[in-house]
Structures are given as C-alpha cells and as structure tokens.
C-alpha cells in the first residue's frame, strides 16, 4: 500500500488516570507512532530531562514562540503554559508517522477545530473514587494542589463527549490493547487510504 500521512492522535485524561503509563507502553510496541514533545513553562520534576519529557522554556520564550505561530495548540494549566511545537509534528505526519499529542482538554478542543481528521482519545479512570485515590496516592504534592487537581479532573471528565474514543484504564495491558485497536482501525479508514484507492481504481 502506498504511503499515506500519519494519524494525529490526541490523548487526554485527567492526572491520575495513568495516561502517561499507557502512552509509554503503547509507544514501546508501536514503532509507527511517535510522541510529540511539548514546550512548557513549568519547572522540571525530579527525573525529567529537557528535550525528553518536555522542552522547558521561559514565559518569554513561550510567548515569542506563540507569536511566531510556532504552536499547533497551547493552553494554560495549573498556572503554567503548555504548547505543541507545530513543525516537528507536521514533519512526522508528512513522513507517514503517527503522532501522539498527550495534552489537556482545552488544547484538544483546539486540535479538533484545526485538524478535523485528528483522532481524539480520552483515557478515563474506572470511577471517580479511584481517580481521587490515585491523585491523593501520588504523595508528591501538597493538599491544596491535590484539591485543585481533583477539581480540574472533574472539569476534564465533563468534556468526555467531545472525544472520539474512551479507554477506561482499569488495567494498563488492556488499555494499551484498546489503544492499538483504535489506531489500527483508524489506519484502515477509506479516507486515510486515498492513494491506494486511486491506484487500485485506475
Ligand atoms: P504535567 O505538568 O503534569 O506534565 O501536565 C499537566 C497537563 O498538561 C497534562 O494534562 C498534560 O497532558 C498537559 N499537557 C502537556 N503538554 C501539553 C501541550 O503541549 N498542550 C496542552 N494543551 N496540554 C499539555
């Protein structure tokens, strides 16, 4: 089959749903898909490396990049700014590579508007109680931050209906499988195989 553009996959889900773990596991097993490294104004957490989890930049740098149309989308989250550098994403998609944007809901809605063929996937917790336990269980943040994260999580959950697919993360292994099913089915959509159709029908 002839090479087509890659799929732009948006992956959202509140903190505490294990979306990062599902995403990492998925990427290990799917060489046709890569991760878009966002730029952020937040400080690195212990263990995070510049250029690996994020590009850690200043507010000035962030807004310069925004003014230069350097972001495909961007949003403020918990007092920090996050944005998807557009150039790297476009290059990968053009080369036939699928790209995952692991972003929050406001950014996801911008992508939905700008890139209608993008696939929006929401990773949900099995229940609100489990989500609360997971957010508290991290033990890395003070109580007021935990309360704020829970409030944000609830607001994010309320936007699930804007997504194309929901993956309930009850078990990582199962969640990754569901994610693979989505990607593989999307790849088979007729609209994503125009070059093949032209070829076979000529
Ligand atoms: P954290 O600070 O915990 O790494 O990320 C906070 C939130 O920002 C998460 O929901 C994460 O998915 C989201 N996020 C990370 N990068 C981006 C981005 O480039 N754009 C948007 N809109 N959200 C992002």
Q: Which two tokens stand for residue 168?
A: 């309930």
What backbone phi and psi angles, to 5 degrees, belong to 28?
A: -60, -35
- Tens-binned pLDDT, residue by residue, of the chain (202 aa): 445 799 999 999 998 899 999 999 999 999 999 999 999 999 999 999 999 999 999 999 999 999 999 999 999 998 999 999 999 999 999 999 999 999 999 999 999 999 999 999 999 999 999 999 988 885 777 888 888 889 999 999 999 999 999 999 999 999 999 999 999 999 999 999 998 999 999 8
What Cα–Cα distance (Å) separates residue 32 from each residue in 2, 7, 170?
15, 10, 25
Is the pTM higher than 0.85? yes
| Residue nearest (by alpha carbon) to ligand 1 atom 9 | 104
Q: Which two tokens stand for residue 66?
A: 């925004």
Q: How far apart are CA 154 and CA 169, in angstroms?
A: 16
Tell me the HSE value of 99 on the side-chain side, using a 13 A CA sphere. Answer: 26
Of ligand 1's listed atoms, the one at least distance from the Cα of 83 is 19
Report the separation in Å between the CA atom of 103 and the middle of ligand 1, taken as the mean of its atom positions: 5
What Cα–Cα distance (Å) separates residue 150 from each residue in 19, 97, 129, 180?
16, 34, 11, 29
| Residue nearest (by alpha carbon) to ligand 1 atom 24 | 103
Q: What integer pLDDT is reported at residue 3 of this predicted model? A: 54
Superfamily of domain 8-36+97-200: P-loop containing nucleotide triphosphate hydrolases (3.40.50.300)
Q: What is the DSSP string of 135-174?
A: HHHT--S-HHHHHHHHHHHHHHHTTGGGSSEEEE-SSHHH
Q: What integer pLDDT is reported at residue 138 of this predicted model? A: 58
Of ligand 1's listed atoms, the one at least distance from the Cα of 102 is 12
Q: What integer pLDDT is reported at residue 2 of this predicted model? A: 45
Q: Which two tokens stand for residue 36?
A: 């878009």
CA angle 125, 128, 132 (to 5 degrees): 95
Around ligand 1, the residues with Cβ closer than 6 Å are: 15, 38, 42, 73-75, 77, 82-84, 102-104, 106-107
């Amino acid at each position: 089959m002839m090479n087509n553009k890659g799929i732009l996959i948006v992956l959202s889900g509140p903190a505490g749903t294990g979306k990062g773990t599902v995403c990492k596991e998925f990427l290990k097993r799917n060489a046709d898909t890569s991760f878009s490294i966002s730029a952020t104004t937040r400080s690195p957490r212990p263990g995070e490396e510049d250029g690996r989890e994020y590009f850690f930049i200043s507010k000035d740098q962030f807004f310069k990049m925004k003014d230069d149309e350097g972001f495909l989308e961007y949003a403020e989250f918990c007092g920090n700014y996050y944005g998807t550098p557009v150039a790297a994403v476009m290059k990968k998609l053009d080369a036939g590579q699928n790209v995952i944007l692991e972003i929050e809901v406001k950014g996801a809605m911008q992508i939905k508007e700008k890139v209608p063929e993008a696939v929006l996937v929401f990773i949900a917790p099995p229940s609100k109680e489990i989500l609360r336990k997971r957010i508290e269980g991290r033990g890395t943040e003070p109580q007021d931050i935990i309360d704020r994260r829970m409030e944000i999580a609830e607001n994010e959950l309320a936007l699930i209906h804007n997504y194309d697919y929901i993956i309930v993360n009850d078990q990582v292994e199962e969640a990754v499988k569901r994610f693979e099913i989505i990607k593989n089915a999307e790849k088979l959509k007729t609209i994503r195989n125009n070059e093949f159709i032209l070829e076979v029908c000529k």
